[in-house]
Amino acid sequence: MKYNTLNLPNAYKKAFKDADIRGVYPTEINEVVAYRIARAFVEEFGWNEVIVARDMRVSSPSLRKAFVAGIRDAGATAIDIGIIDTPGLYFASGSLDLPGVVITASHNPAEYNGLKLVSPGAIPLTGKTGLTAILKRIEMNASRTIIERGALKKQSMMRKYVSYIKQKTKFVTKRRLRVVIDAGNGTAGPLIKELCANLPIEITPLFFELDGTFPNRESNPTLAKNQTEIRRTLKAGTYDFGVAFDGDADRVAFFDEKGNYINSAFIGALIAKHLIERFPKSTYIYTVFTSRAYEEVIKKSGGKAIRARVGHAFIKEVMHKQDALFGCEHSAHFYFKDNYYTDSGILAFLFVAAALAEKLGAEKKFSEIIRPFSTYFQTEEVLVEVKYKELALQEIASRYESKHPESITYFDGVTIHFPEYWFVIKKSVTEDALKFVVESPKKQIAYTVQKEILEQLRIY
């Protein structure tokens, strides 16, 4: 197919976000968009080779075909590594020192798809570092005349990838761990089977079949509506803990042996404390939405906590600059310096499993181990559509500032602290909406404030 002779969809610009390209297929992203982006990616940076990976979404094969065509028409070689999780693309880019793309919409519902572009070393492209330039090339239709098409190579990275991950975790345990794993019909399933085959982990698999229609639950595992089956399974059996992945396995949600969802910051605090014991005074990254418990554990343990803007690309940028050992985001992303400063749901799962293996036993359960970190209750992130988001944000900030909070901070939104609760509210980058979370030592107070903010936002 000659993609360069076809018209772009009218809404294609909506797919360009701050840190990746993502939208509804085919109205915001389609094969023509993928082709044009591929050509612009090669021509803007002069790449000779580009790694191409994809997830299992229904539209991913055709988007992959178009992207490969764009790479080749720009004169570069496309290295196709097939279906793999997003962290697998990061590993390929880091280990081969090549640019790449993974075709995925991550945690979004089935009707979405997208592209995550990285420079060599798994460094993500953002608006500042390349996405804006790519968009401008597409707008100007600036592709060069095809002189000589590049080649297409197929290369499997799975064996090296599995070996690499296993090297990062060492198990010392007196018994096998029993874990419920919900792959959500995403890319985590095949990888988990490979990884756990020779590890002291007995898995109970849920939804391991690759299916881009997401027939059993939506892709985001942090939402309560998507946790029904793993909670039911954990409550009905005798397990040590459970995990659930999103579609491209860069997110992982944790559950205790009773089926209770665990705030990602508490998991992050467990990991950080373990790392600080081995690497004193090391640096850790968090965002405005990360529970206060994470920052407090790091500082109390002798580590250094540094805040970054919400979003994987911005966290990775700060991690590089600060040479941070680990990062934690409220949305179930966990970042590791030892993994090219990138996020990996699989690595987070194995790291926690290995850290707990020595402690788990009849006398101590996962819920008991995590309890010291569970000092606060945080509401789910709420997205509220508003017509005038800048005005709404200013009005909410002014209203609570008049109540004389302990502090008010303007960084990546507004953070307002009161003695019994605190909340963060910020503008959505992609929608006419505000999003916020509330946290308190007491669940009822957090929900009361959440309801209060929701009522106030309705007038905007």
Residue extents of the structural domains in the chain? 3-156, 160-262, 377-457
In which region does residue 340 sit, left (phi positive, over 0), alpha (psi from -120 to 50) or beta (all else)? Answer: left
- Which 3 state secondary structure label does DSSP give 321? helix
C-alpha 25/C-alpha 119 separation (Å) is 25
Give the closest residue to 45 by CA, choosing from 133, 127, 126, 110. Answer: 133
In which region does residue 401 sit, left (phi positive, over 0), alpha (psi from -120 to 50) or beta (all else)? Answer: alpha
Are 242 and 209 spatial neighbours (Cβ–Cβ below 8 Å)? no
C-alpha 221/C-alpha 245 separation (Å) is 6
Greatest extent of the chain over all pairs of C-alpha atoms, in Å? 69
Q: Sign of torsion, CA 87 412 265 109?
A: negative
The radius of gyration of the chain from alpha carbons, rounded to an integer in Å, stands at: 22
Query: What's the CATH fold of domain 377-457?
Result: TATA-Binding Protein (3.30.310)
In which region does residue 165 sit, left (phi positive, over 0), alpha (psi from -120 to 50) or beta (all else)? Answer: alpha
| Inter-residue long-range contacts of 324-327, CB under 8 Å, 24+ positions, other chains counted | 324/282, 324/283, 324/284, 324/285, 325/275, 325/279, 325/282, 325/283, 325/284, 326/268, 326/271, 326/272, 326/275, 326/282, 326/284, 326/285, 327/284, 327/285, 327/286
Q: Respond yes or no: is residue 59 known to be catalytic.
A: no
| Identified catalytic residue from 59, 106, 282, 301 | 106
Give the closest residue to 188 by CA, choosing from 168, 213, 166, 205. Answer: 205
C-alpha 13/C-alpha 169 separation (Å) is 42
Query: Is the fold of 3-156 the same as that of 377-457?
Result: no
pTM over 0.85: yes
Instruction: Name residue 52's beta-bridge partners.
Output: 80, 101
Give the closest residue to 278 by CA, choosing from 260, 301, 311. Answer: 301
Phi/psi of residue 301, each to 5°?
-85, -5
Instruction: Name residue 154's beta-bridge partners.
Output: 80
Give the orientation angle of helix 158-168 with respect to helix 345-357, to 10 degrees.
40
Overall size of the chain counted in residues: 460
Q: What CATH architecture does domain 3-156 belong to? A: 3-Layer(aba) Sandwich (3.40)
The CATH number corresponding to 160-262 among 3.20.20.120, 3.20.20.150, 3.40.120.10, 3.30.565.10 equals 3.40.120.10
C-alpha 66/C-alpha 446 separation (Å) is 47
Are 99 and 51 spatial neighbours (Cβ–Cβ below 8 Å)? yes
Amino acid at 392: A
C-alpha 104/C-alpha 29 separation (Å) is 11
Are 298 and 284 spatial neighbours (Cβ–Cβ below 8 Å)? yes
Amino acid at 357: A
- Pairing, β 261-262 against β 252-255: antiparallel
The ranges of the chain with pLDDT < 70 are 174, 360-363, 430
Are 183 and 207 spatial neighbours (Cβ–Cβ below 8 Å)? yes
pLDDT at residue 361, as a whole number: 57
Q: What is the token pair recorded at 339?
A: 């993994």
Q: What is the token pair recorded at 138?
A: 């597409």
C-alpha 85/C-alpha 377 separation (Å) is 31
* pLDDT tens-digit map of 261-304: 999 999 999 999 999 999 999 999 999 999 999 999 999 999 99
Are 81 and 88 spatial neighbours (Cβ–Cβ below 8 Å)? yes
C-alpha 195/C-alpha 168 separation (Å) is 12
Are 72 and 150 spatial neighbours (Cβ–Cβ below 8 Å)? yes
Q: What is the token pair recorded at 353?
A: 């499993």
Amino acid at 413: G
The b/e string for 302-329 (b: 16+ C-beta within 10 A; e otherwise) is ebebbbbbbbbbbbbbbbeebebbbbbb
Are 203 and 192 spatial neighbours (Cβ–Cβ below 8 Å)? yes
